[in-house]
Amino acid sequence: MKKIVLLVIAMCAPTAYAANKDTALDTKALTVIQRDFRDKGIAKVDRVKQDKIQALCTQYRDRPPHALQDKLEKEQLAAVKYPADGKLMGDWKAGEKLAQSGRGLTWTDKEGDVVGGNCYNCHQLSPKEIAYGTIGPSLLHFGRNRGNTPEMQKYVYGRIYNAKAFNLCTNMPRFGHVGALTESQIKDLVALLLDPESLVNKE
């Protein structure tokens, strides 16, 4: 119980704590993590280590200075790897299966197992699906409302590949950036959102 309280305190400390650069709680929280987390199967302890962007968002409580945020978002966007064939939309039906799947990347999975997108965990997509999360915005009728122009396809592909290129401190995973989803899978999710025949846009 003490460990949980310690982590909550470290995560929810007020801005004044950050401003004073008092790192005592951060140090204690890191000590607990390093002591209690262990590699297990394909799930390695390095997953709890923050990269440069994550650490910065933690430091500024998700509100970094605008100039710094703009600079880093541009760097993240420049690193997005778009398909060499120029095709950004795949099969929306495969995208729907992917959006429904939350499988993969746990310690019980094997290296190379197919990973799901788990999109419904955070977003509304299909009007027929009654179970979906609200952490992210509703994507129902996304393509119907925004169209599926080449520019929109590129935007959606980039957003799925690395959402931090568009919103530095977003909670959305960087699916392509971290290698969780393949190029083909991201194309299928683009189609799910933008194809006029997709159930996202039909009803």
Q: Token pair for residue 41?
A: 């199967």
Ranges of each domain in the chain: 2-68, 92-202
Q: Residue 141's pLDDT is what?
A: 97
- Taking each helix axis as running N to C, give the angle between helix 183-194 and helix 92-100, from 0 to 180 degrees, rounded to the nearest 10: 100
Phi, psi of 152 (to 5 degrees): -70, -40
Q: Is 43 helix (H, G, I), strand (E, B) or coil?
A: strand
pLDDT of residue 47: 84
Q: Give CA–CA dist 199/192, Å, rounded.
A: 8
Tell me phi and psi for residue 25, to 5 degrees.
-70, -40
d(CA 123, CA 139): 6
Q: Contact, 59 vs 18, CB < 8 A? A: yes
pLDDT in tens, the chain (203 residues): 444 433 433 444 444 334 445 578 878 887 888 788 889 998 888 888 889 999 999 999 999 999 999 999 999 999 999 999 999 999 999 999 999 999 988 888 898 889 999 999 999 999 989 999 999 999 999 999 999 999 999 999 999 999 999 999 999 999 999 999 999 999 999 999 999 999 999 87
pLDDT at 34: 79
| DSSP-derived secondary structure letter, 54 | H
In one-letter notation, the amino acid at residue 73 is E
**pLDDT score for 144:** 96
Q: For the stretch 29-46, what's the b/e string if a residue is b when 16 or more beta carbons lie within 10 angstroms of its beta carbon?
A: beeeeeeeeeeeeeeeee
Residue 40: DSSP 8-state: B
Nearest to 177 by CA among 43, 105, 103, 78: 78
Q: How far is CA 202 from CA 86, 103, 127, 160, 196, in A?
A: 26, 27, 9, 22, 7
φ and ψ at residue 40, rounded to 5 degrees: -150, 115
Res 22: pLDDT: 57
CATH architecture for segment(s) 92-202: Orthogonal Bundle (1.10)
Instruction: Report d(CA 116, CA 103) in Å as an integer.
Output: 5
Kindly give, in sequence order, each residue whose CB lies less than 8 Å from that of residue 148, ignoring residues fewer than 6 positions away.
Answer: 89, 194, 195, 196
Q: What's the confidence (pLDDT) of residue 85?
A: 96
